Amino acid sequence: MKQYRCKYINEEITIDGNFSKPVWQNADEIQLVNNADGKEPRQQTTAKMLWNDNFLYAAFRCIDDEIIATMTGYNDPIYNEEVVEIFIDDDCDKKTYIEIEVSPLNTLLHYAVHNNLNGEIITFARVEKILKTAVVHNKDRGFWDVEIAIPFSEIILDSVDGPKKDSQWRVNLYRIDRRQNGERELSAWSPTLGKTFHMPDKFGELIFVR
């Protein structure tokens, strides 16, 4: 199982889409791979995560020579275009988890997912837009960056308290990249080796360190 040691910080991150700001230099780097076979994808995606007492933070850099994005409404089906995604299973039951997606237009999708592991997946859209997200495009260098701040109160529904030192959650990071000709590339931190991301037994392990 893949593991990511998520480092603690004593500050709040200003969510402005700047993947290169100093606070992110302290975070370990993740390179997403092709979800079908674990090999290098055509378009690279780099991700990092950090945490403090109130938030889990994530940042992505997506190399992209052809951006496909039109939807702008909260909880629009942006998975039909291009997105980065985070799946978070805080109690590690492999059945209930949070799904978060952000598009190149900074459109947000936020679902609670119930997966009975027999092919039936029920999603519940979060009504309130609580998460903080930002996207920045660098057209000259051909990439777009994403920052996300996720309040722990949105993940741990029975408590407002965040994780403790050495807490371990099941998490996966994904990207859907599309081209004008209809081709699709799925990338993942911990590849599911299938056609769907909804395989919680394939999630990696997020370890909160400080």
Question: 98-144 pLDDT, tens per residue?
Answer: 999 999 999 999 999 999 878 789 999 999 999 999 999 998 889 99
The answer as to CATH 3.40.50.1860 being correct for domain 3-209 is no
**The pLDDT value given to residue 160:** 54
Q: In this predicted structure, what is the pLDDT of residue 150?
A: 97
Question: Which residues lie below 8 Å from residue 128, measured CB to CB, with a gap of 6+?
Answer: none
Q: Provide the pairing of β-strand 45-51 with 168-178.
A: unpaired
Q: Return the pLDDT at 159.
A: 54
Q: What is the pLDDT of residue 173?
A: 98
pLDDT at position 156: 72
Q: Which stretches of the chain score pLDDT less than 70?
A: 157-161
Residue ranges per domain, the chain?
Answer: 3-209
Please report, for residues 50, 59, 121, 171, the alpha-carbon distance to residue 67 in angstroms, rounded to integers and kept in the order given: 27, 18, 29, 26
pLDDT of residue 158: 55
